[in-house]
Amino acid sequence: MTIKTGDRLPETTFVKAGPDGPDQVSSADFFKGRRVALFAVPGAFTPTCSARHLPGFIERKDELAAKGIDEVACTAVNDAFVLGAWSKANDAAGKVTMLADGNGEFARAVGLEMDGSAYGMGKRSQRYAMIVNDGVVEQVHVEQPGEFKVSSADHLIEQL
């Protein structure tokens, strides 16, 4: 079942690339007590994700903050080392928190997993963006396959 507005996020564990190596963080702890703009990409370093999705959130972070967003986070079914390298390559540190969903637990739990096996990518996350307020979904915008419209920073800012 796909997550929807008003649902509480399921309990899963993300991994962040920390200065001393991978750090695990529970979804409950990460989203507790704050409003987070969370966006998901099918994969770090992939064309649309690198050229448009991540850069939009980096560029518009301050506008999101002005609209009441405490943190911007990105999740992907990649490991923390890949997301750490992607963050570094895009100067995203301090702007977008990378939440690795290496085994796809979160993508499955929110019902937004996709099968990219035809492209050699295996199970991944669909492209989406959501606003999460204290662990509860305020908004969720899931892209149609092959599109990049409703999950962009621009669209999210318009909805806030």
Give whole-number Cα distances, 95 to 59, 74, 104, 139, in Å. Answer: 9, 10, 24, 21
pLDDT of residue 70: 98
Range of the domain at 79: 13-159
38 is a domain residue? yes
Asked if the structure places residue 72 within a domain, the reply is: yes
Res 88: pLDDT: 95
H-only helix segments in the chain: 27-31, 47-48, 54-59, 61-66, 80-89, 105-109, 153-159
In-domain check, residue 118: yes
Token pair for residue 73? Answer: 């986070």
Q: Are 7 and 22 in contact (CB under 8 A)?
A: no
pLDDT of residue 116: 87
| Number of structural domains the chain divides into | 1
Q: What is the DSSP letter of 115?
A: E
In a domain, 1, yes or no: no
Closest CA to 99 of 39, 14, 12, 27: 14
Give all strands (DSSP E) within the chain, no chain letters: 13-18, 21-26, 35-40, 71-76, 97-100, 113-115, 123-125, 128-133, 136-142
- The confidence score (pLDDT) of residue 32 equals 98
Nearest Cα to Cα of residue 73 among 118, 21, 15, 2? 15
User: Does the model's pTM come out above 0.85?
Assistant: yes
pLDDT at 21: 82
Question: Mean pLDDT in runs of 10 for the chain (160 residues)?
Answer: 95 91 94 98 90 95 98 97 96 96 97 90 94 98 94 97
Q: Which residues are catalytic?
A: 49
Domain harbouring 85, CATH code: 3.40.30.10
